[in-house]
Amino acid sequence: MIQSEVAATPQSDVGGRHKRLVARTVLISFFTAVSRVLGYGREALTAALFGDTSAVYDAFVTAWRVPNLFRRLLGEGAVSASLVRAMTQEDHERGNDAGRALMWETLRLAAWILFALTVVVMGAVALMPDVMPVTGWRWLGDDAAAMRELTVQVTPYVIAICLAALAGGALSVRERFTGTSAGPGVMNVIAILTLVLIGWRFGWEGIGPADGEAGRERHLDMARWFSWGLLASGVAQLVLLVPELRAAKLLERATPSPEMRAKAVLVLKTSLPLALGAAVYQINVLVDSFMANNLLEVGGASTYYYANRIQQLPLALVATAATSAVFPAMQALAQTRSFGDLRRMHEQTHLGIAFIALPASVGLFVLATPVTSVLLEHGAFSERGVERTADAIAMLCIALIPGGALSLISRAYFALGDYRTPVKVSVAMLVLNVLLNFAFVVGLGMDTGGLALATALVSWLNVAVLIPGLNRRLREQQGGEVPGLPGFGSRVVRMVAATAACGLAAFGVYAASGVERGSALGLFAAIASGITTYIVAAQLLGCPEWVEIRQRLAGKLRRRLER
């Protein structure tokens, strides 16, 4: 049945689908920005409710890292990338019906694997000891019982969110991104509503040593409610994709066939070596969270989590959005052996990411404390919590540029069919990250900033190793030198100069304002001055990225006026 349908279906122009990359990136960035703003609202509420010294919330944020890691490994990372690659090939060679059939077989197989994985993880967490043999490592932290319960409760989130990510990958092949991009925002809306309900039900006051077991139980009940809300948000993100799946004619279930089942198995096999390379940053973060829960005083895991969340805004707003937008196009270029175009698209995307990420990282570095204070210093969140979070943010800012670059570099390797290199490098970097964590926290007595510094150093080293290998791989595929983007180095130098002016302006305005640390007005004035200075400097230096943005904005304004 499938073979006859496919044979009658003409090849699809997979390269022709991916021409509106800027518009696509803007769409994804818009939804990502909305999601991140909502996410900051969510974190402000959790900070007010749980404070910065809750062992229960330390357990919750560490438990929440587990399904999010598998989401990156099996959904947004490895399997999704492998499905995009295989589905693009099926569409190109055998038509859209074949691509749809492959999607359904992959979803069916993935659903069973995800169910089994969820059961295994829940069982392992429930049965493993509080203290690891030989090492004596209290891997579940100061509240092992809460850690066990909450991990078991949130782990089923993996099933819904990974299936949603896989369906989103299939939609990206058909150039549909709205539902996938809006999903995280929907998740945050549900989380915020849940937190408001928790505040109404349990109150907004924090707990202290005098509250004892009663205070712990109240926080544990609050965390349970929050877990149920997050599970509901995972289901909502999957349901949100149904209209687009129907519009893309992907909702029509394909007749199972041995051929497509074998190809779906190959998609999953191919994804295995991708998994570690695609999610190395998340693995490092998970390791950091467990180590924070074990090595740092109470509140270390929570404050490190908040620092990660704040740092993620510029990273997700530009890097994640751009990578999601260009990966199907890079895959299509590799499929048609347009390696010169692929390299130029890869480098152009890096420059586009850097144009936003560089000033964001410097601005966040110089304003780490006021940003943390304005966002989190409410309710039960203390001044000490602000200090610990800001220390981690300052170090994580160093990781912002390589963190954004790593995902794109790994996807470029995947587009070229090289799955092993990112994995090998990632394994080495993971081991190095653990060693540096111990060196900075145990050896040098650093706090959350030590964990963040280790992540930053490892991220830069990871990029430094992968970039030369990628260029070499392109030369091998092309059979000769593949020219890069003209003037790449000079464009980076101009960005760095504009970024330096931005950081000086933001720091100078905030220092001169004389406002209290938690003043939103002083913070916004500093941010506005930094952005304005950056734009002026980019204009004076003739940064091509700014010229393109300005021309596009002028073109849109002109077209509106002509109407």
Predicted local distance difference test score (pLDDT) of residue 5: 38
Predicted local distance difference test score (pLDDT) of residue 208: 61
The set of residues, in sequence order, having a beta carbon less than 8 Å from that of 290 and lying 6+ positions away, is 62, 139, 141
Rounded distance, CA 255 to CA 458, Å?
A: 47
> Rg of the Cα trace of the chain?
24
Name the band, by pLDDT with cuts 50, 70 and 90, for residue 353: confident
Neighbours of 407 (CB within 10 A): 26
On the question of pLDDT at 223 being above 90, the answer is: yes
Q: Interior CA angle at 436 toward 430 and 438, to 5°?
A: 110
| Distance (Å) of CA 100 to CA 16, 97, 358 | 19, 5, 40
Residues 241-255 have a mean pLDDT of: 83
pLDDT in tens, 469-498: 888 888 888 878 888 888 888 999 999 999
Q: Interior CA angle at 187 toward 162 and 316, to 5°?
A: 75
| Distance (Å) of CA 519 to CA 363, 381, 509, 526 | 17, 16, 13, 11
Name the band, by pLDDT with cuts 50, 70 and 90, for residue 14: very low
Rounded distance, CA 154 to CA 176, Å?
A: 29
pLDDT in tens, 334-349: 878 888 888 888 888 8
392 touches 449 (CB < 8 A): yes
Secondary structure of 192-218 in the HEC alphabet? Answer: HHHHHHHHHHHCCCCCCHHHHHHHHHH
Name the band, by pLDDT with cuts 50, 70 and 90, for residue 8: very low
Residue 446 per-residue DSSP state: -
| Distance (Å) of CA 381 to CA 254, 352, 396, 531 | 52, 36, 21, 29
Map tokens 């519009």 to a residue: 247
Rounded distance, CA 32 to CA 356, Å?
A: 14
Number of H helices, E strands in the chain: 23, 0
Closest CA to 36 of 261, 273, 316: 316
Q: CA 341 from chain center: how many Å?
A: 26
How large a percentage of the chain has pLDDT more than 90? Answer: 29
The four Cα atoms 67, 73, 76, 79 give a dihedral, to 10 degrees, of -130
Residues 525-529 have a mean pLDDT of: 94
DSSP, collapsed to helix, strand or coil, labels residue 516 as coil
pLDDT in tens, 91-107: 777 778 888 888 888 88
Predicted local distance difference test score (pLDDT) of residue 282: 67
Domain regions of the chain by residue span: 14-478, 489-556
Rounded distance, CA 84 to CA 99, Å?
A: 10
The set of residues, in sequence order, having a beta carbon less than 8 Å from that of 257 and lying 6+ positions away, is 1, 2, 3, 101, 105
The structure's pTM equals: 0.80
Residues 264-277 have a mean pLDDT of: 71
Taken in order 557, 558, 561, 563, is the CA torsion positive or negative? negative
Closest CA to 387 of 401, 404, 368: 368
